[in-house]
């Protein structure tokens, strides 16, 4: 018997965030989640734009479904670039993008970022995407375990997203399916607080995809929901060959993509960044030909100045952990250079956390630098690193005592563990 795709989508702002930067979509042929990032409400703009472009692929593909999905993802990336160029305050915005396109026989998977896709078959859950994150690279190298990754101070650092830059390198693959298979796409708001085992049990026990989605969101809220959470679930079900109502089912849009624009722009401007940029236009057209080039030059200067001002403010709001003089240190800015210009400066050296006191894995991470969202997170990262160093010292001291050596020999000079 032929298969059809039953689907549902749910999204919740969570218990901590003020706005929802997630967007989700579920339709007869397409399932998708985008988790936006970037300040000044830009994250929700990026995720919304991505879903708006992806939903254009919600139809039976004419050829290779990966080609159709790749074209939609590329269009989303170009749309983000256009929106960022039209408004300097959106510079640096980006979004994850994880989607599944159904061609009646198989699912094409497109993925970039740290949103995830899972396949449940015969009660067993398998993750079918690989997180594009710094900690996932550590897991792949065998430097930390998956359990360590859940508590790692740099677990939120993504290495690939849609950000308007080219080229992009999403992961694409074909997923073979069977009747009864369930697929889940979710933002990290779910997987950060709900374990894979809990997800597996919930997907396997739920009577319908709607029940499963509602339960997963409820479990996230029960766990504190520090981030937005979005879940999109599909189920492959057998249908009678005479059933032709597949395309009659309504699609579901959730999260930021389902919300009204706060700026109140008319609908015709939503898909045209240039129209938004230059509207409203004067009602009367006067014959002052010299005025247009003057206005154009002034506009370029104003946009350039605004962009430089925003870029400077954005850089000063960034922090990362690095090393200075053999000590763990906090830097303000970003670890990049524009010719001779350094985009960061030393902010603080606690002075009681030597780099050599850290276990090898954390020493290497500090050497490569660890990004922080703000100063508070940077200071928390330093605190966490100090705890790791002190625990390593305690284990060393215990080993020394068991070997009848002096415990003081295991102390690392300069490390303060009095907190």
Q: Which is more confidently placed, 42 or 397?
A: 42
Cα 357 to Cα 412: distance, rounded to the nearest angstrom: 6
104-146 pLDDT, tens digit each:
999 999 999 999 999 999 999 999 999 999 999 999 999 999 8
Q: What average pLDDT does range 401-407 have in this prediction?
A: 47
pTM of the model: 0.63
CA separation, residue 297 to residues 260, 290, 291, 309 (Å):
34, 11, 10, 18
**At residue 266, does pLDDT exceed 60?**
no
Write out pLDDT tens, residues 322-367: 998 889 999 888 766 555 556 778 889 887 889 888 888 788 888 8
- Average pLDDT score over residue span 303-312: 56
Quick check: 327 and 283 in contact, CB under 8 A? no
Mean pLDDT: which of 161-170, 266-275, 383-392 is highest? 161-170
**Bridge partners for 345 per DSSP:** 332
How large is the average pLDDT for residues 287-316? 56
What is the per-residue pLDDT for 53? 98
Provide the 10 A C-beta neighbour count for residue 91.
18
At 265 the pLDDT is 37
Burial of 249 (0-12, 13-18, 19+ CB in 10 A): middle
Q: Distance between CA 128 and CA 113 in Å, rounded?
A: 13
CB 235, CB 6: distance < 8 Å: yes
- Nearest in space to 366 (alpha carbons), one of 327, 419, 411: 327
Which has the closest alpha carbon to 193: 231, 158, 157? 231
pLDDT score of 80 more than 50? yes
Lowest-pLDDT choice from 124-128, 234-238, 257-261, 272-276: 272-276
Distance from C-alpha of 119 to C-alpha of 102, rounded to nearest angstrom = 14
- If one compares 269 and 207, the residue with the highest pLDDT of the two is 207
Q: CA 419 → CA 174, 330, 384, 390, 416, distances in Å?
A: 52, 19, 11, 10, 8
B/e letters for 384-405, b = 16+ CB within 10 Å, e = fewer, are bbbebbbebbeeebeebeeeee
- Pick from 17-21, 218-222, 375-379: least confident: 375-379
Instruction: Return the pLDDT at 400.
Output: 53
Find the mean pLDDT for residues 385-408. 66
Query: What confidence score (pLDDT) does residue 263 get?
Result: 39
Q: Does 272 score more than 70 pLDDT? A: no
At 221, is the pLDDT very low, low, confident or very high (cuts 50, 70, 90)? Answer: very high
Q: What is the mean pLDDT of residues 219-242?
A: 91
Question: What confidence tier does 269 reach under pLDDT thresholds 50, 70, 90?
Answer: very low
What value does the mean pLDDT take over residues 258-269? 48
Which is higher by pLDDT, 264 or 256?
256
- Contact between 223 and 140 under an 8 Å Cβ cutoff? The reply is no
Instruction: Report the mean per-residue pLDDT for the chain.
Output: 83
Among the listed ranges 198-202, 236-240, 393-397, which one has the minimum average pLDDT value?
393-397
Instruction: Map out the domains of the chain with their CATH numbers.
Output: 3-258 (3.60.40.10), 319-410 (no CATH)
- At residue 415, the pLDDT reads 84
Whole-number pLDDT of residue 287: 38
Residue 68 pLDDT more than 60?
yes
Query: In Å, how far are 26, 119, 202, 282, 376 from 215, measured between CA atoms?
Result: 18, 17, 7, 53, 33
Buried b (16+ CB within 10 A) or exposed e, 357-383: bbeeebbebbeebbbbeeeebbbebbe
């Amino acid at each position: 018997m032929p298969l059809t795709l039953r689907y549902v989508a749910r999204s919740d702002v969570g218990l901590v965030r003020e706005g929802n930067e997630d967007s989700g979509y579920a339709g007869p042929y397409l399932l998708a989640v985008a988790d936006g990032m970037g300040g000044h409400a830009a994250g929700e703009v990026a995720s919304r734009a991505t879903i708006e472009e992806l939903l254009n692929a919600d139809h039976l593909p004419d050829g290779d479904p990966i080609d159709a999905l790749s074209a939609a993802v590329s269009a989303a990336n170009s749309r983000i670039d256009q929106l960022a160029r039209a408004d300097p305050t959106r510079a640096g915005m980006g979004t994850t993008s994880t989607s599944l396109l159904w061609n009646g026989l198989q699912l094409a998977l497109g993925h970039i970022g740290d949103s995830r896709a899972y396949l449940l078959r015969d009660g067993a859950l398998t993750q079918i995407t690989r997180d594009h994150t710094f900690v996932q690279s550590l897991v792949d190298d065998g430097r930390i375990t998956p359990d360590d990754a859940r508590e790692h101070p740099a677990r939120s650092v993504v290495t690939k997203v849609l950000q308007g830059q080219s080229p992009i390198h999403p992961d694409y693959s074909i997923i073979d399916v069977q009747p009864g298979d369930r697929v889940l796409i979710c933002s990290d708001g779910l997987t950060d607080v709900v374990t894979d085992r809990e997800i597996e049990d919930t997907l396997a026990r739920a009577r319908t995809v709607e029940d499963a989605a509602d339960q997963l969101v409820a479990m996230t809220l029960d766990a504190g929901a520090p981030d937005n959470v979005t879940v999109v679930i599909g189920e492959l079900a057998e249908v009678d060959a005479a059933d032709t109502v597949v395309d009659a089912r309504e699609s579901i849009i959730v999260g930021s993509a389902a919300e009204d624009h706060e700026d109140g722009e008319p609908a015709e401007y939503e898909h045209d960044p240039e129209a938004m940029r230059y509207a409203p236009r004067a009602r009367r057209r006067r014959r002052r030909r010299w005025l247009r080039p003057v206005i154009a030059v002034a506009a370029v200067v104003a946009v350039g100045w605004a962009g430089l001002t925003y870029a400077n403010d954005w850089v000063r709001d960034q922090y990362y952990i690095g090393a200075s003089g053999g000590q763990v240190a906090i830097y303000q800015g970003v670890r990049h250079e524009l010719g001779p210009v350094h985009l960061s400066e030393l902010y603080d050296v606690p002075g009681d956390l030597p780099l050599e006191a850290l276990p090898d894995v954390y020493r290497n991470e500090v050497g490569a630098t660890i990004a922080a969202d703000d100063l508070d997170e940077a200071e928390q990262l330093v605190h966490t690193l100090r705890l790791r160093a002190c625990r390593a010292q305690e284990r060393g001291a215990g080993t020394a005592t068991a070997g009848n050596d002096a415990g003081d020999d295991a102390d690392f000079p300069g490390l303060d563990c009095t907190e």
